Each structure stands twice: as structure tokens, then as C-alpha cells.
Amino acid sequence: MKNIFIAGHNGMVGSAIARQLNNVKIITRSHNELDLTDQQQVRNFFESNKIDQVYLAAAKVGGIYANNTFPADFIYQNLMIEANVIRSAFENNVKKILFLGSSCIYPREAKQPMDESSLLTGSLEPTNEPYAIAKIAGIKLCESFNRQFGESHGIDYRSVMPTNLFGIGDNYDEKNSHVVPALIRRFHQSKFLNKPEVEIWGSGKPKREFLYVDDMARACIHVMHLPKEVYAKITDEMCSHINVGSGVEMSIEDLAKSIARVVGYKGKLIFDHSMPDGAPRKLINCQRLFSTGWRPEVNFENGLKLSYIDYLQNNP
């Protein structure tokens, strides 16, 4: 039985991966037990535990407010986490790693849908540039270890870049949450307080892509288990990451209406056109992954219903 270390098992994606894995021994450590930014602690952990594979889902994450307020924390902590884990895993003979990044690695003006090959072809979105640079470094760490040690040490380190995720275990914090959990919280509170209308930033016209987190977890396991020759066929030595998304986009207005319907909020939606819209589209090209036979399984509205149940259970 393989020993699988899930770094970030308490997070939304890490916990979903743990739910989906079968017939393996899952090894986890809380932040209090293991600080992944501490090189010596990480070294000691890998030396003391026989690890066969790593799912590297641990990261410091947050919305625009958090990224703008704490840019040094975002770049430093994420760089340290991935550098410590990948290096210590290599030093202790771990053959397979799956590194989880983010679609924010792509240039702000990247051609839509964003293909893996658009990485490093333009300037990043300024509001999350430090976080994006750290995630790009994680991809390049995996690539570089493969290039230098792939043949001599038999390692196979891979990377996946998810689109906007939502689902069980999401962050509903008022300042740091992303758009789906933020709107779930806002509509629920407005329903409870009988508010006649809810204000939403922007015009509602920008389009975004969303994926339910359990589908992301299934994609991670699918990519980890792809035969090496299949992975090599759909990637490049210097462009080795794979996009993970639904391939479907919707406007923020349609998103808001869907969430209001699931929550049961029947008031009016007001779009504040004086507030920024952000990029008009953020869709990733998932044809490389789709070519291997993977497809999302959870319908978007069903995913919203599961998310709202999770919100009610954990935010009474």
C-alpha cells in the first residue's frame, strides 16, 4: 500500500483529494505539527516518514484584498512551501509529486481560452502578481528536477493549474473569500434579514469558469496516475503543466442569479457599474486534459447546492 502525503489536507482541495483517494495510506500533518515554510521541519518529516507520493495542495491563498494587503507574505510563504517540500521529497526518494498551481499564472491579456503555452508570454495581473510568480516557480521547480534528475533518479513531478474552484470546505470569510462563497454568504444573510436588494460589484458582464472541488480532486488523481508516456505526449519538457477546468464559462450576472436561486433569495440584484469588472474573460483551454478521457462529473447547479449545504452546516 502506497504512503501518500497530502500537504494542505485541511484546505478545500486537499480535503477533497483525501475524500477521493482509495486503497492508500494517507499521511497528513496540521500546520501546528509541521510548518512547511520551515526547511528543517520539512526535512525531518520526510526523513522520518516513508513517503511514496505527494499531493502538494498547501498554499497561502486569498482574494484581491488579501493579495494586495499582504504581497510579501503571499510570495514568501508560497515559495518556501513548494521549495521545501519538493527538495526534501527528492532527497528522500519520493518518485512522484503533483503540484497544484492556479490559473492566475497566465498573463492578464492572454488569448482566450488560455492555453498552457501562454505561460510567460506577457505581464501578470498586478493584484496577484506575487502569488502568481510563486506558483510559476513551483511549476519550474518540478520541471527542473525532472530535467536534471528524471532519468538518473526515476522521478516524475507533475503540475496542474485549476480554474476557479468552489465547494465543500470553501472559505466564506467576508474579506478574503472568492466570488462563489462571497455571494453565497451575502445572499444567505440578505435572505435572513429580508433585504429587498443585494448590490454586486461591476456590470455583471465579465465571464468566468468554475469547477466543483471534488471534480478537481478527481482530476488530480487522474493526472497523477496517467502513464508517463501519455503525460509526456500532451506536455512539453519546458511546458509541463496541465490546465484543469470545466470548459464552460458564465457571466457574473448569471452566476449571481444561480446562487440566489439555490439560496432562495428572491430580492432584486443591483449591479454597481461604478465598480471595476476585472478581466472580461478568464477561460482556460482544457483540451490536453480532456484528450486523456477526463471530464467533470458534477453539474454546476448541483455543486452550488452542495456548497450551500456545507455553508449552512459550518456557518450557523
Q: Answer yes or no: are the C-beta atoms of 223 and 55 closer than 8 Å.
A: no
Domain boundaries, the chain: 3-166+210-247+285-290, 179-206+249-282+299-314
| pLDDT tens column, 112-145 | 999 999 999 999 988 889 999 999 999 999 999 9
Q: Answer yes or no: are the C-beta atoms of 150 and 156 closer than 8 Å.
A: yes
Model pTM? 0.94
What homologous superfamily is domain 3-166+210-247+285-290 in, according to CATH? NAD(P)-binding Rossmann-like Domain (3.40.50.720)
Q: What is the pLDDT of residue 64?
A: 76
Percent of the chain whose pLDDT exceeds 70 = 99
How far apart are the C-alpha atoms of 175 and 216, rounded to whole Å?
Answer: 24
Q: What is the pLDDT of residue 177?
A: 76
Architecture in CATH of 179-206+249-282+299-314? Alpha-Beta Complex (3.90)
Q: What is the pLDDT of residue 221?
A: 98
Q: Identity (one letter) of the amino acid at 35?
A: D
Q: What is the pLDDT of residue 316?
A: 65
How far apart are the C-alpha atoms of 117 and 260, rounded to whole Å?
Answer: 37
How far apart are the C-alpha atoms of 272 and 270, rounded to whole Å?
Answer: 6
Q: Which residues are catalytic?
A: 131
| pLDDT tens column, 57-67 | 999 988 777 88
| pLDDT tens column, 236-280 | 999 999 999 999 999 999 999 999 999 999 999 999 988 877 778
Phi-psi region of 205 (alpha: psi -120 to 50; beta: other; left: phi over 0): alpha
> What string of pLDDT tens digits covers the 316 residues of the chain?
899 999 999 999 999 999 999 999 999 999 999 999 999 999 999 999 999 999 999 999 887 778 888 999 999 999 999 999 999 999 999 999 999 999 999 999 999 999 999 999 999 988 889 999 999 999 999 999 999 999 999 999 999 999 999 999 998 887 677 889 999 999 999 999 999 999 998 899 999 999 999 999 999 999 999 999 999 999 999 999 999 999 999 999 999 999 999 999 999 999 998 887 777 888 999 999 999 999 999 999 999 999 999 999 988 6
Q: Do domains 3-166+210-247+285-290 and 179-206+249-282+299-314 have the same CATH topology?
A: no
Q: What is the pLDDT of residue 252?
A: 94
CA 68 from chain centre, in angstroms, equals 19
